[in-house]
Structure 1
Amino acid sequence: MSAPQMPANETQRIHVLHSLGLLHSAPDERFDRLTRLAKRLFNVPVAKVTLVDTDAVYALSCAGQSSAPVPRELSFCSHTIVNDGMLVVPDTRTDPRFCDNPYVTSAPYIRFYAGYPLAVPGGARLGALCLVDFDPRNFGDEDVALLRDLATMVEQEVAAVQMATVDELTLLLNRRGFEASAPQALQLCTRMSKPASLLFFDLNHFKQINDTFGHAEGDRALKVFAETLRKVLRSSDLPARLGGDEFVALLIDSNRDETALVVERLRTAINERNEVDRRGYDIRFSVGQVELPPDARGAIADLLARGDAEMYKNKQATRTTTNH
């Protein structure tokens, strides 16, 4: 049995997956309708929409079989998300990747699998629309085209969910997306005994930018800050726009000193962008920093409140310094 490869964008993929809030959601008729349709059109005993998480693969929707999680290393869909296009296995017993898989050699005795990777805008592949049969079968070009069309319909439904968790202007997570994704990131830190840090940002004099230069220029300032924040942070970190001119970033495996260096790099990068753009105003920010030990517990709302309070202290200190 071959172990599935790890996607090159695995960290970003997991962040996107968790931000959607679909992993442990209640049954959703939008997806159930499509798995029932796939099961009927292909006359297979099982059709699923799966989501590939860090260690397990979950069924977002399943028609015809138990929807219990499957270990990632044993899942066919773990191979599908790194496959270019559709993965078709006409007879699992003759495929060296799967012939000794426990789901092939023992119950439920899978003999056929076809799966199409499900991607969201940005390219992250979250899982698959898949068909399972307990007898070998052929899968022709028309079958491939039909399953691809159904997978596109699933992707459209997932994209609709994603739009509710992503800020349309900056393309960062919004508050809802952050509050859904941050707990999993903190659980990972706890499991790996790693610290984390929260940075809570507020743009200084943002109302003045809107009033003087117009809301379109204010939107531009927000996008510039978001782009710079994304460039400075590591791919494992979790940035978001909470609303208005407030941003937040959860830094994974980052202690106080490392986080302070990130803030300084961000200030330098913003200053450099100010020099290049020369808009008639400078983008400035205040920031609150909250340190989280590996065993940190508590609600995300409480963590954000602490970050907001620390940011306000920083803003007040900056004003005092400026006045003197």
Structure 2
Amino acid sequence: MLNAPIHNNDKTRLETLRGLNVLDTAAEERFDRITRLAKRLFSVSICLVSLVDENRQWFKSCEGLVASETPRDISFCGHAIHNPQVFVVNDTLLDERFSDNPLVTEAPFIRFYAGHPLTMPDGMRVGTLCLIDENPRDFSEEDKIALEDLALMVVSELTSIQQTTLDELTGISNRRGFEQLAKQALSTWDRNGIDSNLVFFDLDYFKGINDTYGHDAGDRALVSFASLLTQEFRDSDVIARFGGDEFLVLFGQSSEGHIRFALERFKRALINYNNTSTESFDLAYSVGIACRKSKQALNICQYLDAADKAMYEVKLAHHNR
């Protein structure tokens, strides 16, 4: 068996994938409609919208298969994303790359595979629309064109999600994106008995930056602050611009000591930014923290409200000095 290769641009590709804000989200009719159509059109037993993450392939839509993900190293889609066009294996038992693959020798007993890469506007291939069957078969040029058309529909839907869940100015999640990701994260953490912490940031003196230096300067301040957040916090943390000059970071599996350390590191990074920046203004912020125990009856809105109140108390103390 040949393991799915990992190319040099995989870090950039993963950034594009995670920027879609779609991993581990619930099934959606917009994608299921496409996989149902493809399954019927090509008369195959399985059709998937497969997204290739760092160590797994995760299925945003899955027709004909119970599993929600499989390891990346044994995945067919891990091979397919390295091809600009459709990747076809007519008979896995005749292909030395796959003949002893566990997905061939065990359920779902793949004998035929065809996957078209899902290529995003930046050129990164984040996954595939793929067809799987337990019988070998041919795949004509007309079939390839039809699969490409359907794959472009999937890309269109992924792009639509990205546009509605990302903040246009800073490129990080917006409020809607945060709520989707946070809901999924909290559900996962509850199942695994993991506590979490929500950190609420508010830029100090932001109105003064806009009034004194103009709205372009205010935009630069927001972009710089968002960039510092993404640089200093972990990829596994949920980072978002909540609105205006407010930002959020949701931590899972983090002790009180880790939160303090992370915030101190961020504070040092911001001080360094101010010391080296050519801007006429400095960045400053107030921060509040709310904690949520695993399975606590605290929904996202209540969680946000608790962190917001904690931040407001800190901000009020700043202004009363």
1:175 maps onto 2:172 in alignment: no
| Cα distance change on mapping 1:160 and 1:103 into 2, 3 Å | same
Q: CA deviation at 1:6?
A: 9.4
After superposition, what is the alpha-carbon deviation per residue over 1:110-132, rounded to whole angstroms, capped at 9, x for unaligned?
42111134355678765420123
Are the counterparts in 2 of residues 198 and 248 from structure 1 also a CA contact under 8 Å?
yes
Are the counterparts in 1 of residues 74 and 102 from structure 2 also a CA contact under 8 Å?
no
- Alignment correspondent of 1:36: 37
| Cα distance change on mapping 1:59 and 1:234 into 2, 3 Å | closer
SS of 2:136's partner is: coil
| Cα distance change on mapping 1:79 and 1:299 into 2, 3 Å | farther
1:70 maps onto 2:67 in alignment: yes
Are the counterparts in 2 of residues 44 and 132 from structure 1 also a CA contact under 8 Å?
no
Q: CA deviation at 1:310?
A: 0.4
Q: What TM-score comes out, normalization by structure 1 length?
A: 0.78
% identical equivalent positions: 35
- Alignment correspondent of 2:44: 45
Q: CA deviation at 1:142?
A: 7.4
For residue 221 of structure 2, what is the amino acid of its counterpart? A
Moved more, 244-253 or 116-125: 116-125
Equivalent runs, 1:138-217 vs 2, <5 Å: 138-139=138-139, 147-148=147-148, 150-217=150-217
- Alignment correspondent of 1:60: 61
- Alignment correspondent of 1:288: 288
- Alignment correspondent of 1:84: 82
Are the counterparts in 2 of residues 91 and 136 from structure 1 also a CA contact under 8 Å?
yes
| Cα distance change on mapping 1:79 and 1:196 into 2, 3 Å | farther
- Alignment correspondent of 1:244: 244
Q: CA deviation at 1:268?
A: 1.6
After superposition, what is the alpha-carbon deviation per residue over 1:31-70, rounded to whole angstroms, capped at 9, x for unaligned?
7358636864xx44357342458988546375xxx4x532
| Cα distance change on mapping 1:250 and 1:106 into 2, 3 Å | closer
Distance 2:102 2:230 in 1: 42
Are the counterparts in 2 of residues 81 and 125 from structure 1 also a CA contact under 8 Å?
no
Q: CA deviation at 1:147?
A: 3.9
| Cα RMSD for the two superposed structures | 3.8
- Alignment correspondent of 1:137: 137
| Cα distance change on mapping 1:258 and 1:45 into 2, 3 Å | closer
Gaps of 5+ in 1: none
Q: What TM-score comes out, normalization by structure 2 length?
A: 0.79
SS of 2:29's partner is: coil
Distance 1:292 1:3 in 2: 40
